[in-house]
Structure formats: C-alpha cells, structure tokens
C-alpha cells in the first residue's frame, strides 16, 4: 500500500503503485506537499481522481473514494477535517466567507501504526512519514491473495518426538499469501 513494493502489472507491463506529475506517466496518484491540514487538502487529492483515465478505454476511471488512512501523528487532524460540522471558504482577497456543511463526513478515517513503520522502514525520514496520508477506495485498489488458508496439522501419536523427547503432541500451522495491487488508480498518496 505504501508503494515500497510495486507488484502491479497491466497487460504484462510492470508499473509503480504511485506516480507524481513529474514522473510523466499514464496517471498521477501521488501529491507531494499536501499535508492534511483542512478540507482544501482533501479537495486537491480528490481532483487527481478526476484526471485518471482507464488505460484500455481512455475513459475516466469512476472512483468514489470512501476511506482515508493517516499516520498516528495526524489522527486528530484527520478527525477534525473529516468530522467537522461545517467548512468555511474565503476566496483570495475577498472580504466574505462562505460557510457550508462539511461534505467530507462520509469518509471512513483509519490510522495505522504499521503503515507508518513501513514508510519509515522504506527510508522516509520519520518527520516526513508522519505527514503521509492516503485517500481512496482501498478494497478496489488492494487485495490479499491467498494461496492456501491457515491449516493446522497435529503430529500422529507415537511419533519420534514422543519417543525421544517425551513430547506427547505437536502442532504446526501454515498459510501462504501475498498482498497485491489490483488497481492503483483507486488510491491517492499524499505526502506532507
């Protein structure tokens, strides 16, 4: 999810999970310098979705972002931005302010200590990693591909461990799967 490992392929071509405007790629879903401070930062991230096109058809990808993932340091900022009762807008050099109901109340806000640790482990400075946040439809963007589910196996009675080490019963569990990028166009990564 953080983009540290890129495993997305489209028509046999490998792509990174996130691209900024400077990367000059087919889509832009990374917005640098967009620290989560107020509703205008969310609006800037949402505007990226409007520009993302389906590579097969050239038509806009119909993205309806429904979740936001923030790092622990920005948990309260996210709740303030997304759960505020109203927002205020004042245009540049205007004396009037428009107040409206907050349109961001439908987003699910989630914080992740694990995501923060993964971003830092990938080489981002802790002070910068705290400002990262993601907006999108995570269920359409990412999945866990399971090769086989958790299986638990019990050793048979009278096994060698029973005879040599007085171990009456042993169990082992195994599971195999991997995280996968289904479609990176459904998520925008914002860095502070």
Q: For residues 26 and 150, is the Cβ–Cβ distance under 8 A? A: no
Q: Would you give the DSSP letter of residue 156?
A: P
Q: What are phi and psi of 91, to 5 degrees?
A: -65, 165
Domain that holds residue 110: 8-84+101-142+181-190
- 27 falls within a domain: yes
Q: What is the pLDDT along the chain (192 residues), one digit of tens a residue?
A: 777 777 888 888 888 899 998 888 888 999 999 999 999 999 999 999 999 988 888 899 888 999 999 999 999 999 999 999 988 888 777 778 888 888 898 999 999 999 999 999 999 999 999 999 999 999 999 999 999 999 999 988 888 887 788 888 889 999 999 889 999 999 999 998
- 121 falls within a domain: yes
Q: For residues 29 and 19, is the Cβ–Cβ distance under 8 A? A: yes
- 166 falls within a domain: no
Beta partners for residue 100, in sequence order: 87
Q: What is the pLDDT of residues 72-104, one digit of tens each?
A: 999 999 999 999 998 888 877 777 888 888 889
- 176 falls within a domain: no
Which pLDDT value is given to residue 138? 96
CA dihedral 110, 113, 118, 123 (to 10 degrees): 110
Distance separating alpha carbons of residues 16 and 81, to the nearest angstrom: 29
- 73 falls within a domain: yes
Total-model pTM: 0.83
Q: For residues 3 and 189, is the Cβ–Cβ distance under 8 A? A: yes
- 95 falls within a domain: no
- 123 falls within a domain: yes
Distance separating alpha carbons of residues 192 and 123, to the nearest angstrom: 15
- 93 falls within a domain: no
């Amino acid at each position: 999810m953080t983009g540290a490992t890129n495993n997305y392929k489209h028509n046999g071509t490998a792509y990174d999970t996130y691209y900024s405007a400077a990367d000059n790629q087919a889509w832009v879903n990374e917005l640098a310098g967009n620290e989560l401070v107020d509703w205008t930062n969310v609006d800037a991230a949402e505007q990226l979705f409007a520009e993302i096109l389906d590579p097969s058809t050239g038509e806009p990808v119909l993205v309806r972002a429904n979740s936001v993932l923030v790092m622990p340091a920005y948990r309260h900022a996210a709740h303030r931005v997304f759960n505020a009762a109203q927002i205020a807008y004042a245009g540049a050099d205007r004396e009037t302010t428009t107040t409206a109901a907050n349109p961001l109340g439908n987003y699910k806000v989630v914080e992740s200590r694990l995501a923060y640790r993964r971003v830092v482990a990938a080489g981002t400075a802790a002070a910068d990693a705290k400002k990262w946040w993601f907006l999108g439809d995570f269920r359409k963007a990412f999945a866990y591909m399971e090769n086989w589910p958790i299986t638990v196996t019990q050793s048979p009675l009278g096994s060698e461990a029973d005879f040599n080490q007085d171990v009456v019963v042993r169990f082992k569990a195994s599971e195999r799967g991997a995280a996968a990028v289904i479609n990176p166009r459904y998520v925008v990564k914002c860095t502070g």
